[in-house]
Amino acid sequence: MISPLAFVHPEAKIGENVEIGPFAVINKNVIIGDGCVIDSNATICEFTQLGKNCHVFPSAVIGAIPQDLKFHGEETWTIIGDNNVLREFVTVHRGTFSKGKTVIGNNNLIMAYCHVAHDCCLGNNIIMSNTTQLAGEVVVDDFAIIGGGTLVHQFSHIGGHVMIQGGSKINKDIPPYIIAAREPIAYCGVNSVGLNRRGFTPEQIHTIQEVYRMLYQAGMNTTQAIAAIEAQVPACTERDTILEFVKASTRGVVRA
């Protein structure tokens, strides 16, 4: 299951039923979980952990040192969960002293030529389309779909269940459950089709739509809108998720 033309450092920890193709490089201090496939010419750098059943395609580089001038060789990690697909030429950089690790959760599809910079934190079931570029310390929540060629500024936060138009430039936080598009990036409605596909009820989707109507279309500033939503929309997971996201945003959320 390991090509004789691959380099696997003797200190690397390789799980069961792992396939490693020719000219792949597995460095020391690497942990690869059961059932992973590392294709030809892929490189898994030091201080990287892959969970089970991940597939790293040719020429991907996972766990390289960060492109951050404040990094001085300290021990930091790249932690990747189970069932992830990292396509051709994907690059994922390990953390810096800021957070100490770059984290990618489970069941994510990261398409060709995408970049995940130092200290990013990605959740689960995310799709990053081709050539999407995440700068340092970006957070992406579960079930986000990011269109191809999107550029994400450092420290941005992308909420769960969003749909982002390809070619977008993101310099504001994208709150959960919405469609974000246009130039500059803006709120373009609730991602009702995606939510319906993921099992949200009509009542849940209606609540989300009402919250965003008050936040974006009722002629109030953000502080006024939050107060009105708390007073008029009954507490529920969807309402509270949106409010917590908006309140916690340090960059400010996109506008309509």
Tens of pLDDT, residues 139-194: 999 999 999 999 999 999 999 999 999 999 999 999 999 999 999 999 999 999 99
Is there a domain that residue 142 lies in? no
Q: Are residues 120 and 239 in the same domain?
A: no
Is there a domain that residue 157 lies in? no
Cβ within 8 Å of residue 15, ≥6 positions away:
32, 33, 34, 35, 36, 52
Catalytic pick among 136, 147, 159, 160: 136
Based on the residue annotation, tell me whether 118 is a catalytic residue of this protein.
Answer: yes
The answer, as to whether pTM is greater than 0.95, is yes
Is there a domain that residue 237 lies in? yes
Q: Are residues 86 and 206 in the same domain?
A: no
- How many domains does the chain fold into? 2
Q: Are residues 125 and 222 in the same domain?
A: no
Is there a domain that residue 165 lies in? no
Q: Are residues 115 and 22 in the same domain?
A: yes
Q: Are residues 91 and 202 in the same domain?
A: no
- One-letter identity of residue 117: A
The residue among 104, 121, 137 that closes a domain is 137
Q: What is the pLDDT along the chain (256 residues), one digit of tens a residue?
A: 999 999 999 999 999 999 999 999 999 999 999 999 999 999 999 999 999 999 999 999 999 999 999 999 999 999 999 999 999 999 999 999 999 999 999 999 999 999 999 999 999 999 999 999 999 999 999 999 999 999 999 999 999 999 999 999 999 999 999 999 999 999 999 999 999 999 999 999 999 999 999 999 889 999 999 999 999 999 999 999 999 999 999 999 999 9
CB 158 within 8 A of CB 175: no
Is there a domain that residue 169 lies in? no
CB 20 within 8 A of CB 8: yes
Catalytic pick among 118, 141, 147, 194: 118
Q: Rounded to an integer, what distance in angstroms lies between the CA atom of residue 57 and that of residue 39?
A: 5
Is there a domain that residue 146 lies in? no
CATH number at residue 226: 1.20.1180.10
Catalytic pick among 39, 68, 82, 119: 119
Q: Are residues 202 and 90 in the same domain?
A: no
Terminus-to-terminus CA distance in the chain, angstroms? Answer: 53
The residue among 137, 152, 178 that closes a domain is 137
| Tally of helices (H runs) and strands (E runs) in the chain | 4, 27
Q: Rounded to an integer, what distance in angstroms lies between the CA atom of residue 60 and that of residue 38?
A: 9
CATH number at residue 65: 2.160.10.10
The residue among 137, 155, 172 that closes a domain is 137
What 3-state class would DSSP assign to 227? helix
Q: Are residues 24 and 123 in the same domain?
A: yes
Predicted local confidence at residue 218, as pLDDT: 87
Q: Are residues 116 and 42 in the same domain?
A: yes
Q: Are residues 103 and 12 in the same domain?
A: yes
Q: Are residues 133 and 67 in the same domain?
A: yes
Predicted local confidence at residue 156, as pLDDT: 98
Domain that holds residue 198: 194-248
CB 6 within 8 A of CB 24: yes
Compute and round to an integer the Cα radius of gyration of the chain.
20
Q: Are residues 121 and 237 in the same domain?
A: no
Is there a domain that residue 21 lies in? yes
Is there a domain that residue 182 lies in? no
